[in-house]
Amino acid sequence: MPGGMLLLTMALLPVAAALSWGLCRLMLRLAPRWALLDAPGSAAHKPAGVAVPNVGGVALFGAVALPVAAALAAAGAAPAEAWARWAPAAAVHLPGLRATLGEAGVLLGGLAGLHALGLVDDRRALGPLPKLAAMAAVAVALVTLGGTRAMTLLDDAVPGGFGWALSAGLTALWVVAIVNAMNFLDNMDGLAAGVGAVASGVFAVLAIGSGQWFVAALCFLLLGGLLGFLWFNRPPARLYLGDGGSLVLGGLLAVVSVRLTYAGPGPGGVAPPHAVFVPLVVLAVPLYDLASVSVIRLRAGVSPMTGDRNHFSHRLMRLGLPPAAAVGVVWLATLATGLGGLLLPRVSPAGAAVVVAQCAAVLLTLAVLEAASLRGARAVEVDAPPAGG
């Protein structure tokens, strides 16, 4: 009964949005009392100004974790007859849900670990290496214990167990990269949450298309949680996501992008080989920001984990865009690549090449504009008359 499951999973969106909105209101009341504030100008990428609560991640985590925990508890405790009576569409999938309770528990534990890591970092600024090591530990747990592994075809393609190791290593690297990418992207009001909302919406559509209802449920919970939070994070933000939220956002996007099969619905659905590029296309903009700002920092002789104002959004502002417009451009660029990701599993190899080329063209256009602006700024500096002359 696909129609029933579609309605059931989509109903999670307003549930998560309401939970997130309510928890955001609670955090706004508690944060000043408990000094849970982002110190203005405390890092190079944070503008000076009024201290803003940075515990919006509590709302995002709660909006996802509470419904998931409730569903897992019901799956384990409620008899099948109760499911058939109150949620007949989901009752058909109850055996599969019960079979994956352990993996779902690992996912919840991994998200809780990322959430706790972010909350601690928001309070006392952990160093880059401890933070990266903790992210890697969560990624390894998700891969080895949580059944989250990409490119499993390598298991048979590479003999001697090396295929499994290569697949596991690439997946762990992907999780760490996306967690960091969304953490890096959380540098302007509404930016990371908006990009995450676009990406989670795209992944939700892909999950529905492949009949993966539990992955779709995660996507709708994430989308709802982000929409509820965005009400308070839109410029000028009254609440920040904080690392406690951006790490959870990145972790969830990484997991759903790996768990998706990108195949057609039904047991006969098979994903084409080029579907492996779907996560790269959908998340191209966060990855572009991660890669470009890391290169800029390395060329400046500083650690890629050092905060500054050289992110993609900041560079758009140096082109002359106001902050809200810069955020809008990043959202639209994410939507442009995300729409290509929707098409990628359904087209021929030639069509896939066009989609990937379109994604590359979007990023290349932005890079060319940035480079031209930088050259223009340098030319103005050279041609400017000396002071007093």
Predicted model pTM = 0.91
Q: Which residues contribute to the annotated binding site? A: 183, 243
Residues making up the chain, counted from first to last:
389
Q: What is the pLDDT along the chain (389 residues), one digit of tens a residue?
A: 467 889 999 999 999 999 999 999 999 999 999 988 886 655 544 555 678 999 999 999 999 999 999 999 988 888 888 888 888 888 888 888 888 889 999 999 999 999 999 999 999 888 889 999 999 999 999 999 998 888 877 777 777 778 888 889 999 999 999 999 999 999 999 999 999 999 999 999 999 999 899 999 999 999 999 999 999 999 899 999 999 999 999 999 999 999 998 876 544 567 788 888 999 999 999 999 999 989 888 888 888 888 888 888 888 888 888 999 999 999 999 999 999 999 999 899 999 999 999 999 999 988 887 776 566 445 434 444 444 44
User: Quick one: CA dihedral 114, 167, 197, 1, positive or negative?
Assistant: negative
Chain center to CA of 32:
28
Whole-angstrom Cα distance, residue 236 to residue 228? 16
CA-wise closest residue to 275 among 342, 360, 195, 361 = 342
Q: Which residues contribute to the annotated binding site for Mg(2+)? A: 183, 243
